[in-house]
Amino acid sequence: MTAAGDRLGPTLFERSRPGRGGGKIPHPPKDALSRIPADHLRTDGPHLPEVAEPELTRHYVNLSQLNYALDTGFYPLGSCTMKFNPKVNEWAARLPGFADLHPFAPDELAQGTLQLLWELEQALAEIGGMRAVTLQPAAGAQGELTGILMVRAYHRARGDFGRTEVLVPDSAHGTNPATASMAGFRTIEIPAAADGGIDLDGFRAHLGPTTAAVMITNPSTLGLFESRIGELLEAVHAAGALAYMDGANLNAIMGRFKPGEAGFDLMHINVHKTFSTPHGGGGPGAGPVGVGEKLLPFLPWPRVLREPDGTFRTERPGERPQSIGRMRAFAGSTGVLVRAYAYIRAHGAAGLREVSDDAVLAANYLKARLAGVLDIPFSRHCMHEFVASGATLKAQTGIRTLDVAKRLIDYGYHPPTIYFPLTVEEALLIEPTETEALETLDAFVAALRAIVDEAHNDPELLHSAPHSSPVRRLDETTAARQPNLRWRGMTGEQTPCPD
Amino acid sequence: MPYGPHTPEDRAAMLGAIGVASVDELFADIPAALRASELRLPPPETEAELADRLRRLAGRNRVDLVSFLGAGAYRHFVPAVVDQLLLRGEFYTAYTPYQPEISQGTLQTIYEYQSMMGELTGMDVVSASHYDGATATAEGALMTCRATHRERVLVSRGVHPHYRQTLCTYFGGADLVAEEIPLVADGPAAGTIDMAVLERMLADPDRPVAGVVVANPNFLGLLEPMAQAGRLAHAAGALFVSVVEPVSLAVLAAPASYGAEIACGEGQPLGIPLAYGGPYLGILACREALVRQIPGRLVGMTTDVDGRRAFVMTLRAREQDIRREKASSNICTNQALCALAASIYMAAIGPHGLRDVAALGAARAAELERALAESGAPRLHPGPYLNEFAVRVPNAPEVHRRLLARGVLAGLALAEVEPDDPSLADALLVCATEVTTADEIEVFAWALRDEIEQGRQLSLPGLADSRGGRAESGGRAETAGGHARHAIGDAR
């Protein structure tokens, strides 16, 4: 049963009482549906909750307070770039001119949004060193799929059907191999070299006439800049393959490295990371994709074009026959893109370069301060994030990285990403971002130091952490073995939890 | 940098702790030959300047027209409580609930979303959400191939054209086959799925069908014989996928009730702004038997070590970060905040409110049908519809354009999205919802009647060049529409 005095409340379905709520929508005439044959109509329900607005408001406000969020504290979740989400962006996306514009509005009614999208494409292309950008993909993973489908279309358009493989380093995000599979390719994972970087010989051994593309995250998921990237790009192109850059870590390199200039043929950008659009509890994001000259014809359809007279229009059906087609309905996640646009205009070139500089500075500072507290497997300067390891701590105390992470919750922090990359034992991937004050970083170091002390002196405290959170460690096994994925019925009373 | 906290002293302290003289040293791993050329972007703007720029850009969009446009994205009244609660930073500035102990807010709201969407669709399992209706439909179709180990899917031409195009892109990548089921050309079933052809397509023993995908209401607004289509699919060993509009499910039969194994669709009508196409909410739901095939996040109920009820992401072994190249999809995020908006919307208006939204839309649409028919634009198809339908208007794309100048967004000229279908060349797809008013319908009907009459006069021999009649009768509708003729043309 739910314990007394805790912070958990009933579900909406338990709050429901017949007859509550209402007053939002005018009543329709009684015969509104009489023209519709009965066999098309629903005979029962839907049994949705009936809740009055005061209680509804408390329900959601109380639920919100069970969340840890960027607006409540430090969120050093590696590879996720949890930077501050500016409030003016939220205001902008809600302006009626943006929010109420129908996606099928004719171009002449949509000039403001089309101009914004076009300018955003130009800005992202400049930042990435790319020729053009599509804003259509709905998320980073969909950007990857968009990119790899373009790779496929490119090779096929040249009559080259033998390229069936995509090479990725073994430290890659899981989306890379999953994307390659969705686009019909086989993935070959190449182990990293001893210094954590690309193993050139490993790649060269597999590059050849069957290679469609390599997918490289740079900086890598270890937070390291791939210093041998130039040689790799040469080898990739010599083999007739294309080089895809996973732009998940773009926040480290704005103004320092333009992937397109360096030789990457295409890349995706996670605007919810680098360009401050909110993560929203798991989405929505957006995953624009930039391409070089070779891939221009294959960009998803339709694109936004600027006419010689300065007006904007969307491409017409059939205008670019080699396009891979549509990745989703309508133009894209425009509401998200408004926020990314606002962020870029607020910064300008110098501001974005400073963002990357400060992100890298903060990560290196944390890394330097944590040396001696946790293992730091790669000692060279990191980019915007770095990997620490709890391997020694585990050997000495039996305390796992999972326990350290859970104990950080008691100290008021969101834990870093743990057990990723898969290639580092007991990994913690720590990304402070550029928007955290020095005193926040120092306090985080102090907390980790204290936790390591506890690991030696009071390990049970860590095994059973967290202690202060709304709930404690969960029974994930039962959740998976006997899944309860939805509520059924309106009980009108608090239901005992499952046994 | 507008949002950075670091003072010069802070930076100096950090550089000192690292042991470098300048931040440039931290970038030494970038080979000199590969360093970026100068970044060229417009200069930075203060928040005051930026707000002004954004207000002006938003102002260049025209959202003041009387609109009858739907076609997959719908205007609805959204109670104020929805956005007020969405603005809680604890919701929108959190990330994926990887640490369930401090993410119960997001997790419980997703579980409640899954439950409410399960109630609307009648399905056992609802994903925490996909990108939009198009990608959810593509993923639903891919599920049928994995579940049946077959490679051919039949998709009704009544499915939204963007969804069909997206499905086609996804299927091309997976080397799977998607074929279109045509719609009946005329007679009482015109505009709905052609059952005889579907039966023939399903009968090919050498090319077994994994799934049959049908939308209800379909893109033309018509109600499809879903039970019959489902029976045909099942008789051939195929799964039946229903593409739905969630508000309609307050009054229309739920997919599970007519035998669909998978339901997908666009959740935007549930309190999510139009926003020129997104972010929206991809609905994907299925029967329990398919739970291991469904891509995307799932949240389940469980307990913590103290026995407290709690929620957690579950059945994670389907997902890309665990299964990598063998995952059921590459999807990583969901549309959590959009799912939250939909949940708050549903809870705020309640079951009766949602029925009222659907029924009032149907009532307004019937008024619209009568008014347009009196103006000379009868329905194109005779079958039943809920709140959207196509009308026959000679030279529809041109009339649509002229009506813009009168302040009327006359739905969608179907030739714009289905240029290869001659039966839709002279058709407007129009919809009404609970926010459509009698005045708006009158404005539209007057303006349309005027345009149709002028079109008739212009098409008479010898009058092709006469503009006199236009100007004369145009005045009346201009008054009604409240906008000067050619206002749109001038804006270009």
Going residue by residue through chain A, which has 499 residues, state the pLDDT in tens, using 9 for 90 and above. 344 346 788 999 999 999 999 899 999 999 999 999 999 999 988 999 999 999 999 999 999 999 999 999 999 999 999 999 999 999 999 999 999 999 999 999 999 999 999 999 999 999 999 999 999 999 999 999 999 999 999 999 999 999 999 999 998 888 999 999 999 999 999 999 988 899 999 999 999 999 999 999 999 999 999 999 999 999 999 999 999 999 999 999 999 999 999 999 999 999 999 999 999 999 999 999 999 999 999 999 999 999 999 999 999 888 999 999 999 999 999 999 999 999 999 999 999 999 999 999 999 999 999 999 999 999 999 999 999 999 999 999 999 999 999 999 999 999 999 999 888 999 999 999 999 999 999 999 999 999 999 999 999 999 999 999 999 999 999 999 999 999 987 655 554 443 3
Going across the sheet that includes B125-126, the strands are B125-126, B282-286, B262-266, B239-244, B209-216, B152-156, B177-181
Coil, strand, or helix at residue A106?
A: coil
Q: Which of B173, B350, B356 sits opposite A28 (nearest CB)?
A: B356
Q: Which residues 161-180 on chain B approach chain A with CB closer than 8 angstroms? A: 162-163, 165-166, 168-170, 172-175
Identify all chain B residues contacting A359, using CB atoms and an 8 Å cutoff. none
Cα B333-B339-B341 angle, rounded to 5 deg: 135
Asked if omega into B279 is within 30° of 0 (cis), the reply is: yes
Residue of chain B whose Cα is closest to the Cα of A6: B308
Q: From the CB of residue A52, how many other CB atoms can be counted at a distance below 10 Å? A: 16
Is A23 inside a domain boundary?
Answer: no
Is A25 inside a domain boundary?
Answer: no
* Co-location of A325 and A359 in the same domain: no
Question: Please, what's the b/e burial string for B104-133 (b: 16 or more CB within 10 A of its CB; e: otherwise)?
Answer: bbbbbbbbbbbbbbbbbbbbbbbbbbbbbb
* Co-location of A235 and A182 in the same domain: yes
Instruction: Dig out the tokens for B212 from the structure.
Output: 């049959």
Identify all chain B residues contacting A64, using CB atoms and an 8 Å cutoff. 85, 88, 90-91, 105
Q: Which residues 55-114 on chain B approach chain A with CB closer than 8 angstroms? A: 55-63, 65, 67, 69, 71-73, 75, 77, 79, 81, 83-85, 87-106, 108-112, 114
Q: Domain ranges in chain B?
A: 81-345, 350-491
Q: What pLDDT shows up at residue B460? A: 61
Query: What phi and psi, each to the nearest 5 degrees, are found at residue A421?
Result: -65, 155
Burial of A310 (0-12, 13-18, 19+ CB in 10 A): exposed
Domain endpoint, select from A301, A326, A346: A346
Is B16 touching A (CB cutoff 8 A)? no
Q: What pLDDT shows up at residue A6? A: 60
Identify all chain B residues contacting A35, using CB atoms and an 8 Å cutoff. 362, 366, 384
Is A133 inside a domain boundary?
Answer: yes
Is A493 inside a domain boundary?
Answer: no
CATH number at residue A414: 3.90.1150.10
Q: From the CB of residue A379, how many other CB atoms can be counted at a distance below 10 Å? A: 10
Residue of chain A whose Cα is closest to the Cα of B320: A174
Q: Which of A72, A96, A336 sits opposite B279 (nearest CB)?
A: A336
Rounded Cα distance between B403 and A38, Å, is: 36
Rounded Cα distance between B445 and B410, Å, is: 10
Q: What pLDDT shows up at residue B477? A: 39
* The total number of structural domains that make up chain A: 2
* Co-location of A204 and A226 in the same domain: yes
Identify all chain B residues contacting A183, using CB atoms and an 8 Å cutoff. 173-174
* Co-location of A339 and A367 in the same domain: no
Mutate to test the interface with B, among A146, A319, A433, A471 (most CBs of B within 10 A): A471
* Co-location of A133 and A156 in the same domain: yes
Is A448 inside a domain boundary?
Answer: yes
The four Cα atoms A367, A369, A373, A375 give a dihedral, to 10 degrees, of 20
**Number of residues that this document lists for chain A:** 499
* Co-location of A243 and A197 in the same domain: yes
* Co-location of A109 and A246 in the same domain: yes
* Co-location of A318 and A450 in the same domain: no
Identify all chain A residues contacting B331, using CB atoms and an 8 Å cutoff. 139, 141-142
Q: What pLDDT shows up at residue B225? A: 98
* Co-location of A385 and A437 in the same domain: yes
Q: Which of B36, B65, B352 sits opposite A258 (nearest CB)?
A: B36
Rounded Cα distance between B363 and B358, Å, is: 9
Is A247 inside a domain boundary?
Answer: yes
Identify all chain A residues contacting B490, using CB atoms and an 8 Å cutoff. none
User: Is domain B81-345 annotated with CATH 3.40.640.10?
Assistant: yes
Is B363 touching A (CB cutoff 8 A)? yes
Q: Which residues 391-430 on chain B approach chain A with CB closer than 8 angstroms? A: 400-401, 404, 409, 412, 417, 419
Is B35 touching A (CB cutoff 8 A)? yes
Is A224 inside a domain boundary?
Answer: yes
Is B254 touching A (CB cutoff 8 A)? yes
- Inter-chain residue contact B404 with A486, CB threshold 8 Å: no
Identify all chain B residues contacting A325, using CB atoms and an 8 Å cutoff. 165-166, 168-169, 172
Q: What is the rounded radius of gyration, in angstroms, for the C-alpha atoms of chain A? A: 26
Domain endpoint, select from A302, A317, A346: A346
- Inter-chain residue contact A497 with B303, CB threshold 8 Å: yes
Top CATH class of B350-491 equals alpha beta
* Co-location of A309 and A185 in the same domain: yes
Identify all chain A residues contacting B401, using CB atoms and an 8 Å cutoff. 106
Domain endpoint, select from A346, A362, A378: A346
CATH number at residue A136: 3.40.640.10
Q: From the CB of residue A446, how many other CB atoms can be counted at a distance below 10 Å? A: 13
Is B280 touching A (CB cutoff 8 A)? yes
Q: Nearest-CA neighbor of A245 among A79, A128, A127?
A: A128
Q: What pLDDT shows up at residue B328? A: 78
Q: What pLDDT shows up at residue A19? A: 93
Rounded Cα distance between A22 and A20, Å, is: 7
Segments of chain B with pLDDT less than 50:
462-492
User: Cα dist. B85→A39, B8, B42, B344 in Å?
Assistant: 38, 38, 35, 8
Could you list the residue range(s) of the whole structural domain that residue A285 is in?
Answer: 88-346
Instruction: Dig out the tokens for B208 from the structure.
Output: 């077994």
The alpha carbon of residue A390 is apart from the nearest alpha carbon of chain B, in Å, by 18
pTM of the entire predicted model: 0.95
